[in-house]
Amino acid sequence: MRVLVTGGAGFIGSHIVDELLAAGHEPVVVDDLSSGHRANVPAGVSCIEADIRDRSALAFAFNEAQPEAVCHHAAQVSVARSVREPDVDAQVNVVGTLNVIGEAVRVGALRFVFASSGGALYGETSGAADESTAATPISPYGIGKWMGEQYLAWAASEQGVAAVALRYSNVYGPRQSVEGEAGVVAAFCRDLESGVPLTIFGDGLQTRDFVYVQDVARANVAALEWARPGDCPAINISSGVAIAINTLASELNELVAVQQGREPVGSPLHEPARAGDIRHSLLDPSAAAELLDWHPEVTLRDGLDRTVAWRVQGDEGT
């Protein structure tokens, strides 16, 4: 399949491009390069620069690519920014997503995988949330992802799109940005490499479910190949294992210290919890196993090892 990957020069999107190539598909990248890097795009893969908020630029990209399928990963990804600037979040994550769906339908790219968010949609849960758990987003980011799912379900019902919304837990791994409000693993690595004590928002007893980026990329390829016309199931993609942020910080501190041949840095500093952050997030990935024959293959310890090793090799800019 010829697959257009929005956000394909970014963190998750670039790994999807790698997996698509490995599976024999033909990816084409569309990215505005606001956070992605051309260096993430493999040689020989076309990279069209376009902002998904700009319908005319997006139409040009789709006309050039002529895809059969779409993996939509271009997004505003910061929960904190969505709270500060909900209008910006909605322009990218709601209007932008509508634009991508519209262009996909226009050119007949009727297989569509959408990057959604389990933690942001489910909010606080008492156990592992499965897909029947009610969506109760507490941030504009979560609201935007929920709306994206609904618009895609409408397109499946009315236009016959074969769609899947993948609800990710916390994704981490190589190529994750360390700029601005980075993902927690990338941010912790950045600070530890500089010998700076970590800053943890809240008491650190909050828990998250981390899934390695290559596992997420494999799930996208599986979903594209499995998708059914007229249907748009939401499927959790996660490890199914929760870890406290304090524990994550301790493990990364030890790993980075070993890589750098020094003693671990001092105890973390604690700041007040941020608006929009949930206390506990854990997703049940059973549906992915049943429908997609997908299972996470990389344990958290192995994934952290790989991430730290990649950063030490000096490739963190890509």
Cα–Cα distance between 301 and 263 in angstroms, integer? 19
Residue 315 has pLDDT above 60, yes or no: no
pLDDT given for residue 316 in this prediction: 45
Cα–Cα distance between 14 and 137 in angstroms, integer? 27
Tens digit of each residue's pLDDT (9 = 90 or more) over 134-185 = 999 989 999 999 999 999 999 999 999 999 999 999 999 999 988 755 689 9
Residue 119 has pLDDT above 70, yes or no: yes
Phi, then psi, of 303 in degrees rounded to 5? -65, -40
Mean pLDDT of 195-203: 95
Which entry of 122, 141, 168, 172 is annotated as an active-site residue?
Answer: 141
pLDDT given for residue 181 in this prediction: 58
Residue 87 pLDDT level (bands cut at 50, 70, 90): very high
pLDDT given for residue 125 in this prediction: 81
Cα–Cα distance between 259 and 245 in angstroms, integer? 21
Strand order in the sheet with 47-49: 47-49, 26-31, 2-6, 69-72, 111-117, 162-168, 234-237
For 193, 257, 264, 309, the CA distances from 260, given in Å and listed in that order, are 8, 5, 10, 10
Both structure tokens of 46: 């076309």
For 101, 156, 237, the CA distances from 130, given in Å and listed in that order, are 26, 22, 10
Tens digit of each residue's pLDDT (9 = 90 or more) over 223-277 = 999 999 999 999 999 999 999 999 999 999 999 999 999 999 999 999 999 887 8
Phi, then psi, of 99 in degrees rounded to 5? -60, -45
Do 3 and 69 meet the contact criterion of CB atoms below 8 Å apart?
Answer: yes
Residue 313 pLDDT level (bands cut at 50, 70, 90): confident
Residue type, 84: R
Cα–Cα distance between 55 and 95 in angstroms, integer? 10
Residue 102 pLDDT level (bands cut at 50, 70, 90): very high
Both structure tokens of 124: 């606080």
pTM equals 0.95
Both structure tokens of 249: 């910080």
pLDDT given for residue 265 in this prediction: 95
Q: Give the sign of the dihedral formed by CA 304, CA 305, CA 308, CA 311.
A: negative
Residue 95 pLDDT level (bands cut at 50, 70, 90): very high
Residue type, 2: R
Active site residue 141: yes
Tell how far CA 277 is from the center of its chain: 17
DSSP state of 315: -
Tell how far CA 13 is from the center of its chain: 8
Do 200 and 245 meet the contact criterion of CB atoms below 8 Å apart?
Answer: yes
Residue 57 has pLDDT above 80, yes or no: yes
Do 197 and 250 meet the contact criterion of CB atoms below 8 Å apart?
Answer: no
Conformation bin of residue 293: beta by default, left when phi > 0, alpha when psi is -120 to 50: left
For 153, 243, 248, the CA distances from 255, given in Å and listed in that order, are 43, 16, 11
> Which domains, from first to last, does the chain contain?
2-171+212-238 (3.40.50.720)
A 10 A CB-CB count for 16 gives 30
Range with the lowest mean pLDDT among 31-40, 171-180, 183-192, 206-215?
A: 171-180
Mean pLDDT of 185-204: 95
Residue 129 has pLDDT above 60, yes or no: yes
pLDDT given for residue 103 in this prediction: 99
Task: Please return the burial class of 272, using the count of CB atoms within 10 Å of its CB with bins 0-12, 13-18 and 19+.
Answer: exposed
Cα–Cα distance between 188 and 196 in angstroms, integer? 9
pLDDT given for residue 180 in this prediction: 58
